[in-house]
Amino acid sequence: MSDLDTASPMQPERQLMTLEVNGEEHEVITEPRRTLVDVLRHELRLTGTHVGCEHGICGACTVLVDDRPVRACLMFAAQAEGTRIRTVESLSSGGPDRPELNDLQRAFRAHHGLQCGFCTPGFLMLAEGFLAEHPQATKEEIREVVAANLCRCTGYQSIVEAIDGCATARRAGKER
């Protein structure tokens, strides 16, 4: 018997799962109780997804699951099997040595949509998912959506301006 077949109080049950993250398949052996954010950060070393409140309130851990924003602290990794997961690392291109920011990230920089940066990955993924579904979003709709995530530094106006600026540019076909 392998350690996947048996569990003891000292050795919790573990299972093999395959997760598709940022277009790549990863096999992970982990406990069924592990959250998606923990597996992303600790098993796959994708540390762009931040852990904030661990209760689904702050939104720092937002990722896209099948193109929809999800709080990774509220989802078990096992629940994500068979889905497409995207983390903030999927936004930039050019590789880890020379990343090139995408249009949304550049808009956040241009509009000063970040201060300390802790909440930024969650806002980026929330905005990426929202704009994919609502490319014609108004500032009012954007403001309502970003209210779901917490930021203690910016006051949200610069985040709304960044997302709106990106949406406007995408509609005009200038960037993508």
pLDDT, tens only, 10-38? 677 999 999 999 999 999 999 989 999 99
What does DSSP assign to residue 87? Answer: -
Mean pLDDT lowest among 5-19, 83-97, 99-113: 5-19
- 17 vs 82: CA distance, rounded Å: 9
Higher-pLDDT residue of 59 and 154 is 59
pLDDT at 176: 46
The residues, ordered by sequence, that sit 6+ positions from 66 with a Cβ below 8 Å of its Cβ are 83, 84
Residue written as token pair 């956040």: 108
pLDDT at 77: 96
Q: What is the dihedral of CA 38, 52, 85, 13, to 10 degrees?
A: 20
pLDDT at 97: 77
Percent of the chain with pLDDT over 90: 76
- 138 vs 163: CA distance, rounded Å: 10
Q: What is the mean pLDDT of the chain?
A: 91
Indicate the residue type of 129: G
pLDDT at 133: 96
- Alpha carbon 136 to its chain centroid, in Å, reads 22
pLDDT band at 9 (very low <50, low <70, confident <90, very high): low
Residue 71 has pLDDT above 90, yes or no: yes
pLDDT at 174: 56
pLDDT at 8: 56
Percent of the chain with pLDDT over 70: 91
- 85 vs 26: CA distance, rounded Å: 11
Taken as a whole, the chain contains a residue count of 176
Q: Is the distance from CB of 65 to CB of 79 less than 8 angstroms? A: no
Higher-pLDDT residue of 73 and 176 is 73
